[in-house]
Amino acid sequence: MPIAFIIAIAIGTLLLMVPGATRAPGGAPFLTALFTSASAVCVTGMAVVDTPTYWSGLGQVMITVLVQVGGFGIVTGATLLTMLISDRMGLRTRLLARAEDQSLGLGNVRGVLVRVAATMLIFESIVAVFVAARLRLSYDVPFGSAVWSGIFHSVSSFNNAGFALYSDSLIGFVTDWWICVPLTVGVLAGGIGFPVLFELARRARHPRRWSMHTRLTVWGSLVLTAVGFFTMLGFEWSNPRTFGPLGVMDKLLAAFVQGIMPRSGGLNSVDFLAMNTETIAVTNALMFIGGGSASTAGGIKVTTFFLLAFVIWAEVKGEPDVTVGRRRVADAVQRQALTVALLGVAVVATGVLALIALTDGVAFDRALFEVISAFATVGLSMGLTPTLPAGAQLVLVVLMFVGRVGTVAVASAIALNTRPVLYRYPEERPIVG
């Protein structure tokens, strides 16, 4: 999977350097093309240039294709790995079965790919219709431009990419329910994960029959959505630079959008640079957690965060087992969640240190925001990224790649590398705390 993404980024870089990809004469410089390609393939949305004014129609089409390829690739890869890991049949048994019947594995893969592609197309088409119709009927945008804008933003939203054809993202539509709500729903659908979507399609009316993964993802996402909504509403209600001038209903809409977008959506209807410090702190946490596993969202994932919350709760209560919905969580899964979370913290800390070292006088809070946004493939920015020197921008490219591919690769490697041990060492308890 990492090699495939590197190849896609390289091809995208070359395509974006074609003279016709930019509005100005000549092609984009290498670093600009590389950063944009990595941001698109890793479905992040961070940019060093203004997307609608710098890239031509051809360049915007290339970005859309790269986003779709990146989103579809990571989703299908993560979905197949999730099915492989969580399946009741062990890897050895699956390989033996495939050896006896070569069509078994191929048929399963083809079926998953078709379902994923169909689901993406359905959601993107619905969002595109809403956005295009609204732009055409209410903003008098020419038909062709409205259709293209609908397609671009639907692909961007469902893939949690964060790219927009407006220089201020969605700030100009902060009070428009018909634009903001469909795009936010697209972000939610793409960020919840295809294994969850597929299970909800079969068992939506029977929550008690949901798997542990679906329970953690659905209920965890609802909790995080509520936290984001009430945080934005509470801290920004009277802020004259964000929610202050808005009416009550418009404040509710802005809080709904901005409470969800930090979890990898990347679009923004208010300026994050104008937000209060408390709001930025919560936004950092939401970005770091991200969305569901095997989804187009980034971060350490909802299941990882809430599994660790259940581990802490069980430890506080003094219970020997960690249970979720009358199911015991395996020790190996607990270690896997802890590993992913701590590696995420280490990557972010290293990224912030590198960014500060390579940039003269950058504020810590702005560096932290950009690094978490890159690692969690969110795409939100406090205006720092375009002003960074080349070395710091390359750091963000690496963070986007690691955040997009690394968490899935690490979690899958740990799960697939688990093997029985025929011996155990004597137990000893060090002092903790």
Interval 340-387: pLDDT, tens: 899 999 999 999 999 999 998 889 999 999 999 999 999 999 989 999
Identify the pLDDT of residue 106. 40
CA distances from 13 to 8, 43, 56, 339 (A): 9, 15, 15, 33
CB 250 within 8 A of CB 258: no
In a domain, 431, yes or no: no
Q: Where are the alpha helices (DSSP H) in 266-389?
A: 277-289, 302-317, 331-358, 364-375
Identify the pLDDT of residue 210. 87
Measure the CA–CA gap between 43 and 265, rounded to whole angstroms.
9
The burial of 358, by beta-carbon neighbours within 10 Å (0-12 exposed, 13-18 middle, 19 or more buried), is given as middle
Mean pLDDT value across residues 190-219: 88
Domain count, the chain: 1
Identify the pLDDT of residue 116. 83
Is residue 94's pLDDT more than 70?
Answer: no
Is residue 89's pLDDT more than 60?
Answer: no
Identify the pLDDT of residue 183. 96
Cα torsion for 188, 194, 200, 203, to the nearest 10°? -170
Is residue 92's pLDDT more than 60?
Answer: no
In a domain, 357, yes or no: yes
The SS3 of residue 323 is strand
Measure the CA–CA gap between 62 and 55, rounded to whole angstroms.
10
H or E stretch at 148: helix 143-158
Neighbours of 198 (CB within 10 A): 18
Measure the CA–CA gap between 71 and 44, rounded to whole angstroms.
10
Nearest to 210 by CA among 201, 219, 200: 200
Measure the CA–CA gap between 390 and 166, rounded to whole angstroms.
25
Give the predicted TM-score (pTM) of the model.
Answer: 0.88
Mutual orientation of helices 248-260 and 212-236 as an angle, nearest 10°?
140
Identify the pLDDT of residue 5. 86
Is residue 104's pLDDT more than 60?
Answer: no
Record the tokens describing residue 205, joined without a space.
């009316």
Which residues, other chains included, contact 308 with Cβ-Cβ below 8 Å and sequence gap of 6+?
337, 338, 341
Confidence of residue 204 (pLDDT cuts 50, 70, 90): confident
In a domain, 421, yes or no: no
Mean pLDDT value across residues 271-284: 94
Identify the pLDDT of residue 93. 40
CB 224 within 8 A of CB 286: yes
Identify the pLDDT of residue 103. 32
The SS3 of residue 363 is coil
Nearest to 408 by CA among 75, 46, 41: 75
The burial of 364, by beta-carbon neighbours within 10 Å (0-12 exposed, 13-18 middle, 19 or more buried), is given as exposed
In a domain, 428, yes or no: no
CA distances from 427 to 115, 242, 329, 420 (A): 48, 56, 22, 18
Mean pLDDT value across residues 201-226: 90
Identify the pLDDT of residue 433. 72
In a domain, 8, yes or no: yes
pLDDT in tens, 387-414: 999 999 999 999 999 988 876 666 666 5
Nearest to 165 by CA among 181, 175, 154: 154
Greatest alpha-carbon span in the chain? 75
In a domain, 267, yes or no: yes
In a domain, 432, yes or no: no
Identify the pLDDT of residue 407. 66
Identify the pLDDT of residue 105. 42
Identify the pLDDT of residue 140. 94
Percent of the chain's residues with pLDDT above 70? 88
Is residue 88's pLDDT more than 60?
Answer: no
CB 371 within 8 A of CB 287: no
Give the residue numbers spanning the domain of 125.
2-416
Mean pLDDT value across residues 36-51: 94
In a domain, 153, yes or no: yes
CB 178 within 8 A of CB 132: no
Is residue 125's pLDDT more than 50?
Answer: yes
CA-based R_g, the chain, Å: 22
Measure the CA–CA gap between 225 and 376, rounded to whole angstroms.
17
